Amino acid sequence: MTEERAGTPVLSIIVPTFNEAGNVAELVTRVSTAMRGTAVEVIFVDDSTDDTPQRVESVAGTAPISVRLIHRDQPRGGLGGAVLEGIAAAHSDLCVVMDGDLQHPPETISALLAKQQEGDYDVVVASRYTGDGTAAGLSDRMRVFVSRMSTLVTKAMFPIRLHTVSDPMTGFFLLDRTRIDTERLKPRGFKILLEILARQNLNVAEVPFNFAGRHAGESKASVKQGFRFLTQLAYLRFGRMSAFAVIGGIGALANLGIMAGLQELGMGYVWAAIIAAVLTIIGNFLLIERFVFRDMREGASTVWSRLVKSFTFNAVEAVVRIFVIWLAVQTWHLAPVLVAAVTLVIAFVVRYVFHALVVYAPRTGADVSARERSEV
């Protein structure tokens, strides 16, 4: 038995797999090389329908490091559930989670471990979007765009807990399981890191990594996975965003009511839309200050600065929206109130992202970690 296989492992590496037979041997070889001299174990938590389990067992017999297999005949919780099972079965409290397709380079594991030991962090994230990290392994520009937009929306939904995290969507990270309240986790999809970070306040650091192309096999990305992600995000963020939606809905109804009322009094629809927009912008700001972002005001800029940012953004958005209303009415002869309703729905998501990431962004140097807030 080699030095790496002897004794209790310093690090447990959790690899959830689904039909990754062609990647098993290469992954174990590269982990062994990258972590030579450090006692580690690799735990494959497998939901495969191919011969991945047999490949794992074959590699385990000759590998210079400990290789274990957990095959789930009845998978629960998808990839997130597999990760939690692996963490529960690990022999070390320090666990690295990574994909089995080698898009997460094993050579980065040592950097994750060194960072954790340097600052005693709860979680260390391998990020594609910090330092010299790259997302080169994404197959095309559309996937890059979707990844960036998903990250932006996710950070907007959890602006405090994800403030220092550039890549909450990554599946490559290290955690200290003694610091994670696993009872609070409710995995529904494949973004388990998001689930972990969103459920509790954690001390998080990052290291950059280069997201590589797949070594073998096919990508698991699909429309179905995208829908699962959106569902997971909705469940996690039901709190703050729902309040923003309620206030936005009230503002939208007020906007339409004011606009319709002014038109009934003989005012043209353009001026009616302008007045309705100004009144509802101010009203919405006062309401979200009180009911949505109240817990973020202390760390953000002054109230007057927030008002200026909010009013300026909403004024620009209103100008664009009113132009769209005018264009639709003049070109397609649609009912002004109907067009206004459609544009207000579209503007809602954009407005929320801007307020969460810009208007209420923590000041530079603000101590956001000291504030014990519940975002969920």
pLDDT at 364: 65
Other C-beta atoms lying within 10 Å of the C-beta of residue 263:
17
Average pLDDT over residues 246-267: 88
| 224 or 22, greater pLDDT | 22
Instruction: Return the closest-CA partner of residue 175 out of 75, 252, 94.
Output: 94
Q: What pLDDT is stored for residue 104 in this prediction?
A: 93
pLDDT at 262 over 90: yes
| Helix extents (H) in 136-191 | 141-157
pLDDT for position 143: 67
The pLDDT value recorded for residue 376 is 47
Tell whether the model's pLDDT for residue 320 goes beyond 50: yes
270 vs 111: which has the higher pLDDT: 111
- Note the pLDDT of residue 32: 95
Q: Which residue has the tokens 């380079």?
A: 105
For residue 212, report the phi and psi dihedrals to the nearest 5 degrees. Answer: -90, 175
14 is written with which tokens? 């959790």
Q: What is the pLDDT of residues 66-86, one digit of tens each?
A: 999 999 988 777 788 899 999
The pLDDT value recorded for residue 139 is 55
pLDDT at 231 over 60: no
Average pLDDT over residues 14-43: 93
Q: Measure the CA–CA gap between 207 and 118, rounded to whole angstroms.
A: 12
Q: Which of the residue ranges 32-41, 116-125, 221-230, 309-318 would you say has the lowest mean pLDDT?
A: 221-230
Q: Render pLDDT for 214-229 as a digit per residue (tens, 0 to 9).
A: 555 455 454 555 555 6
Task: Give the per-residue pLDDT at 25.
Answer: 93
The pLDDT of residue 204 is: 94
Strand order in the sheet with 66-71: 66-71, 40-46, 11-17, 94-97, 173-176, 123-127, 204-208
With the CA atoms of 288, 241, 183 and 228 taken in that order, what torsion angle do they form, in degrees rounded to the nearest 10?
-170
Alpha-carbon span 112 to 124, nearest angstrom:
6
DSSP 3-state assignment of 172? Answer: coil
Q: Which of 175-179, 217-221, 274-278, 308-312 has the lowest mean pLDDT?
A: 217-221
What local confidence, expressed as pLDDT, does residue 60 receive? 93
Identify the pLDDT of residue 228: 59
**At 155, is the pLDDT very low, low, confident or very high (cuts 50, 70, 90)?**
confident
Mention every residue, 6+ apart, whose C-beta is less than 8 A from residue 35.
Answer: 4, 11, 65, 106, 109, 110
Task: Give the pLDDT confidence score for residue 42 in this predicted structure.
Answer: 97
Banded pLDDT at 245 (limits 50, 70, 90)? confident
Dump strand ranges (E) for the chain: 11-17, 40-46, 66-71, 94-97, 123-127, 173-176, 204-208
**Low-confidence winner among 115-129, 139-153, 165-179, 300-314 (lowest mean pLDDT):** 139-153
pTM of the predicted model as reported, rounded to 2 decimal places: 0.64
- Mean pLDDT over residues 337-355, rounded? 81
Share of the chain above pLDDT 90, in %: 35
Q: Give the integer Cα–Cα distance in Å for 115 and 121.
A: 8
CA angle (141 as vertex; 138, 145 as ends), nearest 5 = 90
35 pLDDT band, cuts 50/70/90, is very high
Check whether 115 has a pLDDT greater than 90: yes
Q: Which are the contacts of 102, defined by CB distance < 8 A and separation ≥ 6?
A: 23, 26, 27, 30, 212, 214, 215
Which range (125-134, 174-183, 360-369) has the least confidence?
360-369
The Cα–Cα gap between 147 and 166 comes to 12
CA–CA separation, 14 and 44 (whole Å) = 6
**The residue to which tokens 């039909």 are assigned:** 19
- CA-to-CA dists, residue 85 to 63, 69, 76, 229, 250, angstroms: 23, 11, 10, 20, 44
Backbone phi and psi for residue 123, each to the nearest 5 degrees, phi listed first: -140, 140
269-to-125, 257, 258 alpha-carbon distances in Å: 51, 12, 11
For residue 156, pLDDT over 90 is answered with no
> Would you state the pLDDT for residue 11?
96
What token pair was written down for 109? 């594991």
- 371: how many CB neighbours lie within 10 A of its CB? 14
Closest CA to 116 of 171, 178, 62: 178
The average pLDDT across 82-94 equals: 93
Report the DSSP pairing between strands 40-46 and 11-17: parallel
Rounded to whole angstroms, the Cα distance separating 72 from 60 reads 18
Go through 152-177 and write b for each residue having 16 or more CB atoms within 10 A of its CB, e for each that does not. Answer: ebbbbbbbbbbbebbbbbbbbbbbbb
Token pair of 210, please? 């280069």
The rounded mean pLDDT for the chain is 83
What domains are defined for the chain? 11-236 (3.90.550.10), 238-359 (no CATH)
Mean pLDDT of 177-186: 84
- pLDDT for 123 equals 96
> What per-residue confidence (pLDDT) applies to 227?
52
**Strand 94-97 with 173-176, pairing:** antiparallel
Q: Where residue 338 falls among pLDDT bands split at 50, 70, 90? A: confident
**How does residue 1 score in pLDDT terms, banded at 50, 70 and 90?**
very low
